[in-house]
Amino acid sequence: MRKFLKWTGIVLAAFFVLILLCYWIISKSIDGKLNKRYSVRVENIPLETDSAGLAYGEQLFFTEGCVNCHGERGEGRMIIDDPKVGILAGRNITRGKGGLPADFNENDYLLALRHGLSRDGKPLIIMPANVYSRLADHEMACIISYCQALPPVNNTPPALQIGWLGRVLTYFNKIPFIPAELTDHNYKAPKQIKKEVTAAYGKYLAATCASCHHPDFKGGENHQPGKPQVPDITSTGHLGHWPPEQFIHIFRTGLTPEGKHLDNEDMPWQLFGHYTDDDLKALYLFLKIQ
C-alpha cells in the first residue's frame, strides 16, 4: 500500500508540474502576442463634422456595436467581470477624467479601429478591428467625428486583465481577445459604399453579424464561456422560413415569428434597431442566399 501511495503521489505531482509547464508556455505565448509591435501605415481620411455626418456617426456607433463596450455616452462599461476569464471593460473614449488623453487624434482612432492597435503599435485587447477594418472611409470618418464630439464624462474603467482561463481560451482561439491577429492590416477600404436594397450591400452590413454568428453565419459555439449556442441566421435556420417583414419586425420588437423574446444581452436587437428598413431588407437578402 505504501508503494502504491508513493507512486500515486509521484504521478500526481508530475501531472501537476506538467499542467504548470503547459500554462507557463501558454502564458508566455499570450504575453508575446500582447507585447508584439506592429508596423502599419495609416492613411488619414477627411472627417465628417457637419450635422449629417455626426448623425450618421451616431447611428453607426450603435449599429456597429461601439456602445456595447464604450457605453451610450462613450463613458466605458464593464464587459466581463470574471477573474478567471478576465476583468475587461471598454475604455472611456470621451475627454473627461479617466478618458482619452488630450492629444488623442484621428491617427490614433484609425490605428485602433482599423488595426486594433494602440499608438505604440501594440495590440488592444478585444478591440474588434477585424470587423471595423472593412468600414468604408466615409463611415469611418463619421464614427470618428461623432466620438470626438462626445461631451466629456468622468469615469475611469478598471484596467484590463486577462485571467488564466481567458489566456487558455485565447491560446486555443476560442475567444478573440487579440483581434489585431485576425485583422488584414493591408486591406484597402473603399471610399464609400452605396446604400441600396441589394444582397451586395447586405453582405457589407453582415460583417458585424459574423463576429458572433461566425464567418459562415451558421452559428455554433459562443465566444463567451457559459453563454448559449449562437443560432444559424442563414436560409438553413429559422430565417429561411421568414419573409422580410418578419425579419424586420424582430429588430423593432425583439420578438421572433416563433414567439421567442430575444435577450438583448445575448442578441443586441435594440442596437440593430437603429438600422433603417432598407438596411434590414438588404441584410435579409444576403442572409437568405447563404
Q: What is the pLDDT of residues 144-163, one digit of tens each?
A: 999 999 999 999 999 888 99
In a domain, 43, yes or no: no
Give backbone dihedrals phi and psi of 123, rounded to 5 degrees, phi first. -65, 140
Last residue of a domain, one of 116, 151, 182: 182
SS (H, E, C) 32-80: HHHCCCCCCCCCCCCCCCCHHHHHHHHHHHHHCCHHHHHCCCCCCCEEE
In a domain, 127, yes or no: yes
In angstroms, rounded to a whole number, what is the distance separating the alpha carbons of residues 229 and 43? 39
In angstroms, rounded to a whole number, what is the distance separating the alpha carbons of residues 190 and 16? 52
- Do 203 and 238 lie in one domain? The reply is yes
Q: Which of 160, 270, 170 is nearest to 224 (CA)?
A: 170
| Low pLDDT (below 50) residues in the chain | none
- Do 216 and 177 lie in one domain? The reply is no
In a domain, 26, yes or no: no
- Do 111 and 217 lie in one domain? The reply is no
pLDDT for 14: 84
Domain that holds residue 75: 51-182
- Do 87 and 144 lie in one domain? The reply is yes
E strand or H helix that includes residue 170: helix 164-171
Contact present, 94 and 152 (Cβ < 8 Å): yes
- Do 118 and 62 lie in one domain? The reply is yes
Q: What CATH number is given to the structural domain containing 283?
A: 1.10.760
- Please state whether 57 falls in left (phi above 0), alpha (psi between -120 and 50) or beta: alpha
Last residue of a domain, one of 182, 216, 238: 182
In a domain, 34, yes or no: no
Last residue of a domain, one of 157, 182, 207: 182
The angle at the Cα of 139, spanning 197 to 38, to the nearest 5 degrees, equals 125
pLDDT for 16: 86
In a domain, 67, yes or no: yes
The residue written with cell numbers 465566444 in the block is: 223
pLDDT for 1: 66
In a domain, 163, yes or no: yes
- Do 137 and 229 lie in one domain? The reply is no
- Do 133 and 72 lie in one domain? The reply is yes
Total structural domains within the chain: 2
pTM (two decimals): 0.84
- Do 122 and 168 lie in one domain? The reply is yes
In a domain, 224, yes or no: yes
In angstroms, rounded to a whole number, what is the distance separating the alpha carbons of residues 85 and 165? 5
Percent above pLDDT 70 for the chain:
98
- List % helix, strand, coil for the chain (3-state, nearest 5): 45, 5, 50
In angstroms, rounded to a whole number, what is the distance separating the alpha carbons of residues 244 and 288? 9
pLDDT for 4: 66
Q: Which of 94, 107, 81 is nearest to 159 (CA)?
A: 81
- Do 62 and 167 lie in one domain? The reply is yes
- Do 130 and 231 lie in one domain? The reply is no
In a domain, 266, yes or no: yes
